[in-house]
Amino acid sequence: MGMIISDQRGGWQELSRSFSLGGSQEPLLVRERREKLSFSFGDLELVELTLPDIYIVYGDMRLKHYQFRVRSEDMPDTVELHFALEGEGVVENHACGRTYNFRANENNIVYIPEFDCSINYTHGKPFRFFEVHFSRSRFLELAQHTTATMQRFLEKVDKGQHGDLGAENIPITMPMHQCLQDIMQCRFTGGLKLLFLQAKCLELLTLQAEAFDKAGQRQQQTVIRSAYEKERILYAREYLLSHMAEPPSLEQLATIAGINTFKLKNGFKELFNNTVFGVLADVRLSTAKERILSGEAIKDVAEELGYSSVQHFGTAFRKKFGITPGTVK
């Protein structure tokens, strides 16, 4: 069982070894595997976590070639929570005739019972991803009676038909990002690790179900009228977060993005369920927490992320996380 991949310049190569979602005869523990893989098309770093009925995999790829053909070979029947963290591209599934677009900071839930895919990544950009796979039977059990949007998706899953929770991917929210970080930084072992990861996977499923249902409800009252306007809002967010230390004003950011301030403010609310500077504050503090955990000095982190003083930084940090930066360190 597994996946094989070709860069269309040679023969097929095994991409990953087989995985099993566990069964009643296996102990309730987490199996973890971390590895670095080298292929003709590039290098991969993967982390795989296998729980009963749940498979988590995340990592990044540094590519030499950007066009691939991937197909499945007796893969377990799963529903995938997909999070694109960096990079973008297009996947064409020849098995069902569907095309999937993905770009950084977007998510969806997909059911692909069979795939034989051509994949085109954007040249010159790395690709980072995070996936949670639930066994099909477990997903059907968990997601029933949740939201109207989920119910429509479940009908396809139940019939064994290819489907997506949303017709279009939507941005990854800050609570989702935090949940992903919690999983990747999990320090528990044994039974506590199993319990923690199960809870976090259910939290991700809940957050996605809620986000896609709200997105569906907003479609009738959207302020974003075209793909171009959505792209401009996403660009504004990217620009804002790349200038966290010295952020532009609302008017400046709107000019840079090529839209008016009304569209900018309401577009952020529509896509990210947050204000422009609410998004900035959330990402700043989450970035600060990660850097402090990695050992950086609190004063340096506060200065480099644009806080006027360590005291101001400490107040904002405590308000968001409920603890001081010093306690984290």
SS3 130: strand
Amino acid in the structure at residue 83: F
pLDDT digits (tens, 9 = 90+) for 15-62: 544 455 554 444 568 999 999 887 766 788 999 999 999 999 999 887
What gap in Å lies between CA 84 and CA 108, rounded to an integer? 9
Tell me which residue of 95, 74, 63, 66 sits closest to 20, measured CA to CA.
74
For 182-220, b where at least 16 C-beta lie within 10 A, e where not — what string? ebeebeeeeeebbebbbebbebbbebbbbbbbebbeeee
Backbone angles phi, psi at 80, to 5 degrees: -110, 125
pLDDT at 41 (0 to 100):
67
pLDDT digits (tens, 9 = 90+) for 277-316: 999 999 999 999 999 998 999 999 999 898 989 998 999 9
pLDDT at 123 (0 to 100):
65
List, in sequence order, every residue forming a beta bridge with 14; answer none if it has no partner.
4
What gap in Å lies between CA 248 and CA 236, rounded to an integer? 10
pLDDT at 27 (0 to 100):
53
Task: Give the CA-trace dihedral at 283, 281, 173, 292, to 10 degrees.
Answer: 30
**H helices of the chain, where?**
136-143, 148-158, 174-184, 190-218, 227-242, 250-257, 261-272, 276-293, 298-304, 310-321, 325-328
Least confident of 52-56, 131-135, 160-164, 250-254: 160-164
Report the pLDDT averaged over residues 136-159: 94
Least confident of 70-79, 135-144, 149-158, 311-320: 70-79
What gap in Å lies between CA 143 and CA 56, rounded to an integer? 18
pLDDT at 196 (0 to 100):
97
Place of tokens 């991700």: 204
Residues contacting residue 276 through CB under 8 Å, at least 6 positions apart: 236, 240, 250, 253, 264, 265, 268
pLDDT digits (tens, 9 = 90+) for 217-252: 765 567 888 889 999 999 999 999 999 989 999 999
Residue 240 structure tokens: 């804002």
Tell me which residue of 51, 55, 54 sits closest to 29, measured CA to CA.
51
pLDDT digits (tens, 9 = 90+) for 170-225: 999 999 999 999 999 999 999 999 999 999 999 999 999 999 998 877 655 678 88
On whether the CB atoms of residues 311 and 301 are closer than 8 A, the answer is no
Domains of the chain: 2-219 (2.60.120.10), 223-328 (1.10.10.60)
